[in-house]
């Protein structure tokens, strides 16, 4: 159709490389949203342009520039890792293009451009929940182990500060490289420190390797509990982790097992459309991101107002997500949602993050 009859969304994701599972989940979720809600909004045909940035910040930025200049996209979306979102933020600002962060979760990302809206989560939101739960459940002495970049550093800091506030101690803080981490030497240090628990953040997709080495080093047998943000018990790979994962307690905003009609509908449709691939928290960030874009287009009657009107229509949205109630704070442009404390349980031969406690309407504690 004519250019004025269509709206283009540039979805930039790691579709290859070590973070391809994030790209696969978000692309599948965005396509599911469009299949369920149609590809026409307010009389405009919605075109989703999916591009692979391989998880490399320079590539993300270059693709974003091309999509804005050549394809005239109304929205930039995706952003599978923090450095990819941060590299692209200046493009959003310069071109006044709303940028919807569907995956990356370092607190400060939304402060990198006034055109950024986030539908994923923040690590401070996720980390404080487990730091409140742990000391009430016999866990006082903790070692932290995180991926050495934005979200890991957020997780480490907000977990530690809250645990200390609650009377616990962090005896050692370990950081592993983001790419190709060898957990073994770090886990040996954890064993030597004999903590009550190891708190961890690793990005989506990396949890199985950590879990395997945790058990191979005999940490579980030595009585060290594993706790973390829910990234480590990622639903995408949880079933491949085996019994070492059973009983692991984490805090996060989404579980495939979240008990609501909205989620059951989402999970059933996602499984069906994707050859039984389980949707994880990345999928939900993508699905909800598409919802925010669609609802904004309805409000603007399909217009963008040079970017500003579309951005304004994204702020303040309240809706029922598969994760539970969700709100885009108009002031911070960041997501406000429930954080759940969950325990891995086996049901009918499958592993699930079963939610057993809810912290309601949690704002990002990283924002002043
Ligand atoms: C980020 C990436 C992840 O895979 C994750 O689980 C959390 C945060 C990030 O890079 O921001």
Domain positions in the chain are 3-121+259-333, 124-252+339-362
- 231 Cβ closer than 6 Å to some ligand 1 atom: yes
Pocket test for ligand 1, best of 89, 231, 237, 250 (most atoms within 8 A of CB): 231
Query: Does the fold of domain 124-252+339-362 match that of domain 3-121+259-333?
Result: yes
Residue-wise burial string across 222-240, b where 16 or more C-beta atoms lie within 10 A, e elsewhere: eebbbbbbbbbbbbbbbee
The protein residue with its alpha carbon nearest to ligand 1, atom 7, reads 203
pLDDT, tens digit only, all 368 positions of the chain: 576 799 999 999 999 999 999 999 999 999 999 999 999 999 999 999 999 999 999 999 999 999 999 999 999 999 999 999 999 999 999 999 999 999 999 999 999 999 999 999 999 999 999 999 999 999 999 999 999 999 999 999 999 999 999 999 999 999 999 999 999 999 999 999 999 999 999 999 999 999 999 999 999 999 999 999 999 999 999 999 999 999 999 999 999 999 999 999 999 999 999 999 999 999 999 999 999 999 999 999 999 999 999 999 999 999 999 999 999 999 999 999 999 999 999 999 999 999 999 999 999 999 98
Tell how far the Cα of 185 is from the centroid of ligand 1, in angstroms: 23
CA torsion sign for 136, 138, 139, 141 is positive
Return the CATH class of domain 124-252+339-362: alpha beta
Taking the C-alpha atoms of residue 239 and residue 164, their distance in angstroms, rounded to an integer, is: 33
Q: Which atom of ligand 1 is nearest to the CA of 206?
A: 4
Distance, CA 196 to ligand 1 centroid (Å)? Answer: 26
CATH number belonging to domain 3-121+259-333: 3.40.50.2300
Give residue 245 CA to ligand 1 midpoint distance, Å: 20
Cα separations in angstroms, 122 against 31, 335, 346: 24, 8, 28
Does residue 155 have its Cβ closer than 6 Å to ligand 1? no
Task: Name the pairing type of β-strands 335-347 and 324-328.
Answer: antiparallel
104 within ligand 1 shell (Cβ under 6 A): yes
């Amino acid at each position: 159709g004519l250019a004025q009859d269509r709206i283009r969304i540039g979805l930039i994701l790691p579709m290859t490389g070590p973070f391809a599972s994030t790209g696969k989940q978000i692309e599948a979720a965005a396509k599911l949203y469009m299949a369920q809600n149609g590809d026409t909004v307010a009389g405009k045909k919605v075109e989703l342009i999916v591009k692979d940035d391989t998880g490399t910040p320079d590539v993300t930025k270059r693709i974003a520039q091309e999509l804005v200049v050549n394809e005239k996209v109304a929205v930039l979306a995706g952003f599978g890792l923090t450095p990819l979102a941060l590299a692209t933020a200046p493009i959003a600002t310069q071109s006044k293009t709303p940028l919807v962060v569907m995956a990356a979760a370092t607190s400060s990302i939304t402060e990198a451009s006034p055109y950024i809206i986030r539908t994923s989560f923040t690590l401070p939101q996720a980390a404080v929940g487990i730091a409140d739960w742990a000391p009430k459940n016999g866990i006082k002495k903790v070692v932290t182990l995180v991926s050495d970049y934005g979200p890991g550093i957020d997780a480490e800091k907000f977990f530690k500060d809250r645990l200390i506030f609650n009377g616990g101690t962090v005896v050692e803080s370990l950081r592993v490289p983001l790419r190709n981490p060898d957990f073994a030497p770090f886990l040996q240090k954890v064993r030597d420190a004999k903590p009550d628990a190891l708190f961890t953040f690793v990005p989506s997709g990396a949890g199985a390797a950590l879990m395997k080495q945790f058990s191979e080093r005999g940490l579980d047998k030595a009585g060290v509990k594993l706790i973390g943000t829910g990234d480590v018990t990622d639903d995408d790979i949880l079933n491949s982790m085996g019994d070492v994962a059973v009983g692991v307690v984490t805090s996060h905003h989404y579980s495939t097992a979240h008990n609501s009609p909205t989620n059951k509908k989402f999970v059933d449709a996602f499984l069906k459309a994707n050859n039984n691939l389980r949707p994880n928290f990345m999928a939900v960030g993508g699905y909800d991101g598409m919802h925010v874009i669609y609802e904004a287009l309805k409000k603007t009657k399909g217009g963008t107002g040079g970017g500003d009107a579309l951005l304004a229509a994204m702020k303040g949205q309240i809706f029922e997500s598969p994760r539970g109630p969700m709100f885009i704070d108009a002031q911070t442009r960041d997501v406000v949602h429930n954080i759940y404390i969950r325990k891995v349980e086996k049901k009918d031969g499958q592993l699930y993050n079963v939610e057993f406690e809810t912290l309601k309407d949690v704002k990002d504690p990283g924002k002043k």
